[in-house]
Amino acid sequence: MTAEKKHYFDHQQQALKAIGLPAIDEASLQQSWALNQLMKETLDGTHAVSFSLPDFMSLALYESSYGYYMAGRSPIGHDGDFVTAPEISSILARALASYLAPQLIEVKGHLLEFGAGRGALAVDLWRTVPEIEHYWIVEPSPILREQQRLSLRSAGIDLERCHWIQSPEQCPEQAILIGNEVLDALPFFQVKKRNGEWLENRVISSGQGWESVWCSVTSEPLIRWIQQHEDKLPDVEEFVIEAAPQRGQWLLSWLERLIKGGCIFLDYGHEAREFFSLIRRSGSLQCYFRHHRHGEFTLIPGAQDITSHVNFSELCGVIESAGYTLSGFCNQRDFILQSGCVESLPDVGDLTQRIIQSQQLQQLMMPGEMGDLVKAIAFTKQFRENAAPMIPCNLVARL
């Protein structure tokens, strides 16, 4: 091992320990080191002095050989870094099923899921929604794609009716699109005002890895975003804002493919009034490593997840610009409760199983946690004028 590589390994382990995080395993360190070298070569090759935050995230999460979602171990589950609602329980799938079933008839039974994890939601929906004719999956991670195939095959689901695609051109022209905790992991900027000047958070190479610095805004997409939204942004010094123009552009590239369809997305986030509340002045950037949450996003690139909360008001404007009609917006607790799925849960006779089921419900609907922080938003395009809303509309007026 070279002295430079050993120094990198030691620094990363010490930095993790300093903020109370567990040690990183040798394989993940090797992956992070390889990505670190590639990123430095990318900086040299472009003569750039620093990465924009979205560029850094794109490499850290999605670089084809060493990115977090593209190499190494599965990020989801007990041995990963986080767990999602479909992994906790089939309750979310049951709630989704009640909303999706009548809508799928409108689109010939085509259902498309973004970021299907290990396939838990796909399996549960196949079992509970007979209206599904074909299931499409958009999954960048080769590891997770293989796990999805294994889960579906093990559940006895016909893989001839499951399709893995990578680009909007492969998407059916009529479909319902769903995504659970997908949008929060798409690259974003961080911006704030200091002495009346807008600054952006950029990432520079240091002798020990990477560090973030606040400097004058130079990223063209961010400059345009500030020009478009400045009148809506809080005029508060040092108020950190996540700006995600790439999030909207990515989503539009898929939605514009549909002639007729709908979409439901569940993700951590807020409508604009809450998103820009003074209690969130430090922003919402979060990293997940071995089920620990922290904010040091420049550590161990390629070996941890990086996310931020979604501004659903902005997302609403983006989707409506593609010809979609808002069909509902609510928190995850109301999404589950108003679906009626809780009342129809199977009667579990065993006491242990009843306790487990109760704990799962609490985890999904807990005030102040997933129940409040995760929101569901739905849209339709070219549906019947009197078609039923896809999800509850009790919070629509707040958008």
Identify the CA nearest to 376 among candidates 339, 323, 321: 339
84-116 pLDDT, tens digit per residue, is 888 888 889 999 998 999 899 989 999 999 999
What is the structure's pLDDT at 396?
43
What is the structure's pLDDT at 239?
97
Percentage of the chain exceeding pLDDT 70: 93
Whether 398 shows a pLDDT value over 50: the answer reads no
What is the structure's pLDDT at 349?
66
292-314 pLDDT, tens digit per residue, is 999 999 999 999 999 999 999 99
Buried b / exposed e across 64-88, counting CB within 10 Å, b at 16+?
A: eebbbbbbbebbbbeebbbebbbbb
Signed CA dihedral, 149, 152, 154, 156: sign only = negative
Whether 209 shows a pLDDT value over 60: the answer reads yes
Cβ pair 16, 24 in contact under 8 A: yes
Identify the band that residue 136 occupies on the pLDDT scale cut at 50, 70 and 90: very high
The CATH class of the 50-399 domain is alpha beta
What is the structure's pLDDT at 370?
82
Q: Is residue 13 classed exposed, middle or buried when 0-12, 13-18 and 19+ CB atoms within 10 A define those classes?
A: middle
68-81 pLDDT, tens digit per residue, is 999 878 888 888 88
Identify the CA nearest to 375 among candidates 360, 388, 361, 391: 391
3-state secondary structure the chain: CCHHHHHHHHHHHHHHHHCCCCCCCHHHHHHHHHHHHHHHHHHHHHCCCCEEHHHHHHHHHHCCCCCCCCCCCCCECCCCCECCHHHHCCHHHHHHHHHHHHHHHHHCCEEEEECCCCCHHHHHHHHHCCCCCEEEEECCCHHHHHHHHHHHHHCCCCHHHEEEECCHHHCCCEEEEEEECCHHHCCCEEEEEECCEEEEEEEEEECCEEEEEEEECCCHHHHHHHHHHHHHCCCCECCCEEECHHHHHHHHHHHCCCCEEEEEEEEEEECHHHHCCHHHCCCCCEEEECCEEECCCCCCCCCCEEECCEEHHHHHHHHHCCCCEEEEEEEHHHHHHCCCCCCCCCCCCCHHHHHHHHHHHHHHHCCCCHHHHEEEEEEEECCCCCCCCCCCCCCHHHC
One-letter amino acid identity for 51? F
Identify the band that residue 220 occupies on the pLDDT scale cut at 50, 70 and 90: very high
Query: Distances from the Cα of 245 to the Cαs of 53, 124, 239, 280, 314, in angstroms?
Result: 12, 33, 19, 20, 10
Whether 378 shows a pLDDT value over 80: the answer reads yes
What is the structure's pLDDT at 79?
83
Read off the pTM.
0.92
Identify the CA nearest to 271 among candidates 380, 96, 396, 177: 396
Whether 45 shows a pLDDT value over 90: the answer reads no
Please give the structure tokens belonging to residue 108.
């010939």
What is the structure's pLDDT at 163?
98
**Cα-based torsion angle of the residue sequence 380, 171, 271, 226 in order, rounded to the nearest 10 degrees:** -120
Domain limits, the chain: 50-399
